[in-house]
Every structure is written in C-alpha cells, then in structure tokens.
Structure 1
Amino acid sequence: MVKRSTAAVLILSSLILASCSQQGPTAVGSQTTAARPSHVVQVRVPAGTTREQVEATYGAPALMFDAQEGYAVLGLSAAQARGSGLRAQNLAETPESNLGAFSASAIATMQGRTMWIKGDFSLWTAEGRTMWIKGQYDLIPENNLNFQIIRLEQAHTLAPKLGQGIKVAVIDTGVDVDHPALAGSLAPAGEWRDFYAGDTNPDEEGVLGEGGYGHGTGVAGIVLQIAPKATILPLRVLGPDGSGDVLHVAQAIDWAVARGAQVINLSLGSEERSAIVQDAIKRATEKNNVLVVASAGNENRPAISYPAHDMASGGAGERSLSVGSVNTAGLKSPFSNYSSNLEMVALGENVYTPGPDGMLVSWSGTSMATPMAAGGLALALSQGIDVPLKDLTKKMAEKSYDLYNNGMNAPYKDKLGKKGLMNLEAFLKDVLK
C-alpha cells in the first residue's frame, strides 16, 4: 500500500487514463495474488457440471463459475486465445483481451489539507443538524452551485431518510478506508474486496498526481454528498494507473450483488464491448433487481464508452443508466462523450469531494457526474417508491431539465440524454410514495 502524506497546501493535476446462489457465482478463492490472464472467455456449463470438470475439459482455469446460472469464465494465455493448447477447441464465444481493458477517466485538481476538518457524513446528518444553511450547502461550499442546480436541498427535504439502508457499490480504484469523512459510511469490512490485488483491503494505492489515485474515494464522497446516509461498499478493480481488467470488473459486479448492493456505480469504461461484463450487469439488473449506473467516457467522441453504451438497450436498460457531463451553464462538457443512446447528463466539472490523505479534491469528468445519479437513486430507494423498480432509472432520465431549449447544445441535439440534466426534485416528486 503506497500512501503519501501531503503538505498543508498542494495543487496538482493528474489525468487518469481514458474515462448469488448455493453454488456461486464464485471466483477462485483465497487468492494472495489476483489472477490476471491475458484473455478471458465465457463458456456455457451444463447442469450438474463441476468447476473441476470444466477446467479439465478446456485445460484452463475457471476464474468465475456458477453452475446454477450455467456459465464459467476461463482465463487463457495469449496462445490459448489463438486456439493453441486448449483441450476443447470449439469455443462458442470469442476470447476477450483482459488486461487493462477498462479505465477510469477524469481530471483532478487536488487542493490539500493536512486533515479533514468537517467530520464524517453521519455527523452532518445527525438529528438537529443539516448540510444546508439558508439555501447554501455548508458541508463543502465549493459545491453549492452544482447542488443548487440539481435541486439537492429540495431532494433532501423530499427524501429525509437520505439513503439510509441503501448499499451503493463503488467499483473503482478503491477508497481511502481510513478517511474520516467516510467513517461510519462503509459496509462491514468483511464485505470489502480488492480484486486487483487479490486481497480483502480495497484501500487506494498510488502517489498523488499519478494515475488513478483518489478516483474511487472521490466517487464515494460524491455518492455520500447526495445520499449522506447511504452505505458504501468499496470494491477495487483498477490499479494505480487507473486501468483494470475485464475479469475483475465482472467479478466485482457479482460480488456486489451477492452482498446486497442495491445500486452499483461504474465510473469506468472501455472502448470495446465486453460480453463478460455485460452479462454480469444483466445478472445484476434482470435477475437481482440491482440498479447500475455507468459513465459515458471523457474522449469527446460521438460514441459513449462500454458498458454505458448498452445501458439503454434490452432488459438491462430497465434498471441501468448511462451518464454524461455538462457544466453549470448546461452546456456539454468539452470532454464528455455524446450519443443518441446517452440517457442523461449530470454536473461533472469541478466537483469537490474527499480525497485520500485528508485532501479536498476537485474532479472533472463523467466519472463525477455518474455518482450524482447513483446517490439520487439511493435517495429514492430509501424513501420508498411508487413506481416499478424497473422504471426508476428511466424516470430519472425523463424528469431531467431540457438542455435543448433555445438552441442550447445545438450540435449535440438528442445526444445528451432524452431531455438532459438531472433534476432530483422533479425525479423524486414523480417516483416517491
């Protein structure tokens, strides 16, 4: 674990690369080093088949296995992926490149503090206390305009349970598990997992200003600013450089579902579609009624990253949401990807949030817009909804502000969501009991 202390004031910028049942699902257990095969492939498993039988059939380790669901994910060498050395040559699916296929994408300007002086989020939601003073967001005043625009104070009034009882899985670079801002907000330590390192401590690793360090802590902090009584389940799948593997992302999704997460936040993406990750999302959404949100990516491309790209389609589209970014003027962020299948945008520029080593971190990226949506869903779930769960993410997108009025965002017409910018007040008024 590499953690570095900071001076009282430090300003730097970093670019993170690119933006269960009785028998499973299971990963290879009690790893001390995470499995990182060159390629992975998902195969069908006949009823009654064991993991050992699958491995003997193919001559490759089954790194994910669920006999009840009828699948296994094999880890392959590069040679095996080309068809050399596999005992069973007829693979129904094409092997996927595994290593570093996913990445988080955001720009961070970190302004350091020697310690976090605001206390934890549960302290600010104790009886008789409020984060709001005369319409101003008092916890982190730098976010006041952002939160006024998305009507967060009104949302907190409409949903005073503030996310209590809702577990949000943050699948990311890990979190600073010792950060005082997160005290009392993390799931029990027995539920934590670091898939990247193959252990049970999902603490952030790295050096300030390099790669992805702090990204997951920032995402978790934004979820908790929106839903301050929610519980964060920290799952690490991205390394210090901000990249991670197909296998670990899929494993983390299954793990989150098995441990009762109601919302999964994926502030990460890939330019290539992973059938393995997409199937894990479908298991979460279609079979377990978990809501999944994913970031659109930060390359300013007319196509959004995977898995966000597939969020609007099929059964998974009923319980999932893709999120892009605009600024406080309602204009598309210069980095945000855009597409006709992007469902909604939130505010993803200069969002302040806790960072590792007691820092206050200002992030910009679709990665920061996405946890605002995750937190909004947690508010609704904790308060109780009057619409079918499968429609909740669709309702959030439909109740957004119209970003296309008066020629706004004309070059991106219908490519920043059905309507545009998340409006938490309108959303909650529409869905709460």
Structure 2
Amino acid sequence: MRLTRFPLSIFTALALAGCAATTTPQAPGASASDYVMTVLTPDPSLSDAQLSARYGGTLLTRTPNFALLRVAGGTLRSASFANDLRVVVEPNKDVFSVPTFSSSGTVGLWGSGTVGLWGSGTVGLWGSGTVGLWGSGTVGLWGSGIGASAANTLNYAEYTSIGLGDAQTRIAAQGLTPGAGVTIAVLDTGLDLGHSAFAGHLSPTNTWKDFVDQDNLPQDQGTMGTGAVGHGTEVAGLSLTVSPGAHLMPLRVLDEQGRGDVDNLTQAIVWAADHGANIINLSLGAATAVEAVTQAIAYANSRGVVVVASAGNQGHEGLDYPAAEFGLTSSNLAVGSVTHAGTKSVFSQYGPLTVLAPGEGLVGPAPQGQAAAWSGTSMSTPLVAGSVALAMTHVPARSAADSADRLKATAQDLGGVSGNANYTGKLGVGRIDLDALTR
C-alpha cells in the first residue's frame, strides 16, 4: 500500500507496501495463546464452565453455531473427542495482517494555516472558513455541512468514477443523509478517536472495544509512518466520505504493526454483530481459511450483518481470506481495486471477486489530526462498505443484505476497459456505480 502524507504545499509519496496482504502463521509453541479451538454446534445443555472443562480450554465466545476456546499447545485433544469432526484446532498468533509500512525522510503535516484546496478562495482545513475539510463549514468532507460531494474532495476523479456526487445529491433531495441510522464496524488498527473527522460519527462508547490491549479504548496507536499506524483511521474515514450520516464502531483487532490474532478477530466479529453493527469492514487478510472466523462471519450474517473484505495486494490470481470465500455466493462482498479510469490496479488480486472500487491514492484522515493518502484494496473496501450504507438509506430503505445485492446488480462491467482483457470473468460484476444505484 502506498502511504502519502502532505506538507502544506506538496503531495509527497512516503511509503510503499501492500494492504490486506497475508502472513504465514507462526510455528506452534507451548503458550496457551498459540492455538484456538472451534467447537461447532456446541451442546446447548452444557454451561460455559462445563464446555470449557469438556474441551480443556478457556472459553472466549459462544454462539448457537460455534464456541471459541483458547487452548495450550501440548494438550490440544483428549481421547474423548479425538475423532470429533465438530472440533477444529488452529494456530492463533499473527494469522491476520495488513503489511508493515516503511517510510523515509521527514513527514510533514497538513497544518492549521489557510490553504486553497478546491479553488482560489481561502479555505480552512479544520477551521471555520467557507469549506472545512473536517469542519463545520458549508461543505464538510466528514463534517456537518452539505456532505462529501465528489466535486468537493481531493478524491474527485475516484469518486466521480463511482457516481458518488450524483448519488448523494439524489439522497439529499429525499431529505436524507447517506448512511443515516447505519452502523459500520471497523475492525482494524483502531481509530484516532479524537480526530475531528470522526466528531459526531462514532457509535456509543459502550460498543467500543480494543481486543489487542483488552480495554475499551480502541485508539490507533503509535507514530504515523511506522508499521501500520493510521491504517484503521484512514479506512474509517473513507467509509464516511461515502456515507457521512453513518456511525462507526471502532474495534481494534490489529496491533501497531498490522498483525492480528484469530481469537481477537473472531470475538470482534461476534461483538459487532451483537452490538448493532449493520456492516463489518475487514481491510485485512490471511493466507488460508480459518474456521473460527468463518463461523463468526456466518453468525454475523445470521444477524443480518454484511461483511466486506479486501482482496489483497499481491497482484496475483486468488484472494486473501476471508474475501476468498465471498465471491458471488452470499451477501458478503470481496473487493478489488481499480484506477479511476477503470483498469484493475496492478497490486489488486483478482479471481472470485464480488465488486471493484477505486483504491489508489485516496485521501483520508490520519492520526494526530493529519490527512494522508493511501493505496490498496484496504482502501477500496471501506468505499464499498460506505456504499452499502448509502444504499440502505436510499428510498426505498433496504436491509444490509438487500443493499449489497443492489450494489452488485447496478455495478458497471469493466471487461471492455483497456488493460482488463487478461482478467475476463475474474473482476466480479464490475465497479460499483452509485449513480446507477440511485437512479
């Protein structure tokens, strides 16, 4: 993934890596945190304590379709369930990831002075001028103004390509705000919770959780420009540019280096489904399928939640998990990246995709009140998550699952675009088209 942060007068590319790339699980060890056990359709007659005793692990979460336990490396199975096909034991540590980011040189900030972003007038980035990038001016990119019309953003070409401005205008004419009443759970490195981009856009604090540090403050930690710091902040912000009326549920499942454990991700998916999320954004991936996460996603789907996941950035055929399991077979969406001209991004993986969205050089919020531009399927994914939220609020109102279907039904086939000839049948139904969706 490319990561760019901006001084006042220039846009400088500072880092290059992939987003939603895969990581090979660590070798088995003796720690009790190294493995998780998924018990399918756990016996409802067993209490939580009895279930833990039965399988010899620490119960982490439980639903009617599965239970997740943490187990020690040396005692994975007992003779009583050695042949029990309902029991799956898998590595736990650092199975999911976004890549490590590197940068060189001095990183500048978008400062507090006056900058002409969209014209020759005086524009206050966070201030009280006519246009506030995060603020309360007439047009607020993430603020309380008219909305994030494509004509008023630094992502103009990308947002125009998906018809965002026209869609938001039509929804505003209905007296509605795109995404109003919809909650998007962002399972990532956390958010810069104090960033003005998110003011008034976060879910109630009792729905927040940091599964990495085991507390209730899912803050995007560390220094911007190192590791994966800022990844979750940008992902969350991009979903709001599409649906500025939505609320974000911040759930931290990845550390500062962008690594995450199976137990944390599984618990977070269940948590999001149980605490009111309509959409779950997963801008992350793994090399292989993980039963615990598959079961958690199935549980979320049973609660009416749509899961949107990134395809991966290795450029090859075949998708990262869980996107690899989505395809066109369910309400969940596997997202690849295209340029604003509609050509598959060089880094984007392809194959059983669902839809495509822009993913190159998208500007969004960054920690410490900054702005940054990133590239990767991780950035395409929140645009699609935000689009599902937008579709839910367009009259007639739809469920998340029906909105995902509507998004697929109105997508624009890009098979005839120059550069896509080698990917026939491997780019899903095409690029999202919010203009067509709202027509």
With the length of structure 2 as denominator, give the TM-score of the two structures. Answer: 0.83
Q: What do residues 207-250 of structure 1 show as CA deviations (whole Å, max 9, x unaligned)?
A: 22222100000001100111111101000000111010111111
Q: CA RMSD in A?
A: 2.7
1:405 is paired with a residue whose SS is coil
Q: What residue in structure 2 maps to residue 60 of structure 1?
A: 57
Summarize the Cα distance change of 1:219–1:106 in structure 2 as closer, same or farther, 3 Å threshold. Answer: farther
Summarize the Cα distance change of 1:106–1:166 in structure 2 as closer, same or farther, 3 Å threshold. Answer: farther
Structure 1, unaligned stretches of length 5 or more? 1-5, 20-34
Counterpart among 351, 355, 370 of residue 359 in structure 1:
370
Alignment: residue pair count: 394
Q: What residue in structure 2 maps to residue 396 of structure 1?
A: 407
Q: Name the CA distance, whole Å, in 1 between partners of 2:32 and 2:316.
A: 30
Counterpart among 361, 364, 370 of residue 350 in structure 1:
361
**C-alpha contact (below 8 Å) 1:121/1:185 kept by paired residues:** no
Q: What residue in structure 2 maps to residue 15 of structure 1?
A: 17
Summarize the Cα distance change of 1:36–1:375 in structure 2 as closer, same or farther, 3 Å threshold. Answer: farther
Q: What residue in structure 2 maps to residue 208 of structure 1?
A: 224
Q: What residue in structure 2 maps to residue 47 of structure 1?
A: 44
Paired letter, 2:343? L
Q: What residue in structure 1 maps to residue 26 of structure 2?
A: none
Deviation (angstroms), 1:417: 1.2
Paired letter, 1:320? N
Counterpart among 343, 361, 368 of residue 379 in structure 2:
368
Deviation (angstroms), 1:398: 2.9
Counterpart among 217, 221, 226 of residue 242 in structure 2:
226
Q: What do residues 123-180 of structure 1 show as CA deviations (whole Å, max 9, x unaligned)?
A: 6468874544xx722xx3x211111111111010122222111111001110000111
1:278 is paired with a residue whose SS is helix
Deviation (angstroms), 1:205: 1.3
- In the alignment, is residue 103 of structure 1 matched against residue 97 of structure 2? yes
Deviation (angstroms), 1:373: 0.7
**C-alpha contact (below 8 Å) 1:105/1:367 kept by paired residues:** no
Deviation (angstroms), 1:8: 7.2
Counterpart among 330, 349, 355 of residue 342 in structure 2:
330
Structure 2, unaligned stretches of length 5 or more? 1-5, 22-30, 113-124, 127-131
Paired letter, 1:42? T
Q: What do residues 382-416 of structure 1 show as CA deviations (whole Å, max 9, x unaligned)?
A: 23446675443233123222211165401111111
- In the alignment, is residue 240 of structure 1 matched against residue 256 of structure 2? yes
Paired letter, 1:335? F
Q: What do residues 263-305 of structure 1 show as CA deviations (whole Å, max 9, x unaligned)?
A: 11111111110111111111111x2111111110111120011
Summarize the Cα distance change of 1:122–1:323 in structure 2 as closer, same or farther, 3 Å threshold. Answer: farther
1:401 is paired with a residue whose SS is coil
Counterpart among 412, 417, 421 of residue 431 in structure 2:
421
Paired letter, 2:88? T
Q: What residue in structure 2 maps to residue 28 of structure 1?
A: none
Deviation (angstroms), 1:86: 8.1
Q: Which moved more, 1:49-58 or 1:379-388?
A: 379-388
Q: Name the CA distance, whole Å, in 1 between partners of 2:74 and 2:145.
A: 63
With the length of structure 1 as denominator, give the TM-score of the two structures. Answer: 0.84
Q: Name the CA distance, whole Å, in 2 between partners of 1:121 and 1:275.
A: 43
Alignment of 1:110-259 (within 5 A): 112-114=109-111, 117=126, 118=132, 120=134, 124=139, 129-132=146-149, 136-137=151-152, 140=153, 142-160=154-172, 161-259=177-275
What's the % identity of the aligned pairs? 35
Deviation (angstroms), 1:51: 1.0
Q: Name the CA distance, whole Å, in 2 between partners of 1:305 and 1:400.
A: 22
Paired letter, 2:431? L
